[in-house]
Every structure is written in C-alpha cells, then in structure tokens.
C-alpha cells in the first residue's frame, strides 16, 4: 500500500519545481459565479510549457530518483500529456 503524500512532500515538490513551471493564475468568471451562485475558479494549466499539469508530477518524480534508479532509464506508456511531461522533464 502506498502512503499518500504529506505536507512535507508537497513542500519538497514545490521547491524542486520552483523556477521551472509557469505559476498559473486562478481565473474567475463573474458570469459563471452568477449563474451557479458560487465562486468558480479555473486553473489554466494549459499555460504550462507542455500544455498540461503533467509536467509537475513527471519532473517531481524524475528529479527525486536516485542515481541508480535513473541509470536504468524511464519509460512513459503514453502518447499524450503524460509522455510530453516526462520528455520535457528528462
């Protein structure tokens, strides 16, 4: 069983990614807020250089591999956003 990440893991990931990712803004739509009676916020991760949030997880994982793990290589079984994130991270 895998343990979910804790706050320390999140802070470490943020440190690893600092300066490498686009800090995407939160975008609000007054029209949607009014229509749904709630505050609706969008996080446009399509502004990342790979076009999705997948770069964050791929870079965080690859940069935390040991030298021995890294020497064995990495395979991305995807032809989409995840593979692009892995390729950009590598």
Segment 7-64, tens digit of pLDDT: 999 999 999 999 999 989 999 999 999 999 999 999 999 998 888 889 999 999 999 9
b/e map 65-86, b = 16+ CB within 10 Å: eeeeeeeeeeebeeeebbbbbb
pLDDT recorded at residue 31: 96
List strand residue ranges (DSSP E) for the chain, in order.
27-28, 41-42
């Amino acid at each position: 069983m895998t343990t979910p990440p804790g706050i320390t893991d999140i802070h470490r990931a943020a440190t690893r990614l600092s300066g490498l990712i686009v800090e995407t803004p939160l975008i609000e739509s007054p029209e949607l807020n009014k229509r749904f009676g709630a505050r609706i916020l969008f996080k446009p991760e399509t502004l990342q250089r790979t076009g999705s949030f997948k770069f964050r997880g791929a870079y965080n994982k690859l940069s935390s591999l040991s030298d021995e793990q890294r020497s064995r290589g990495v395979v991305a079984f995807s032809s989409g956003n995840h593979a692009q994130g892995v390729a950009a991270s590598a």
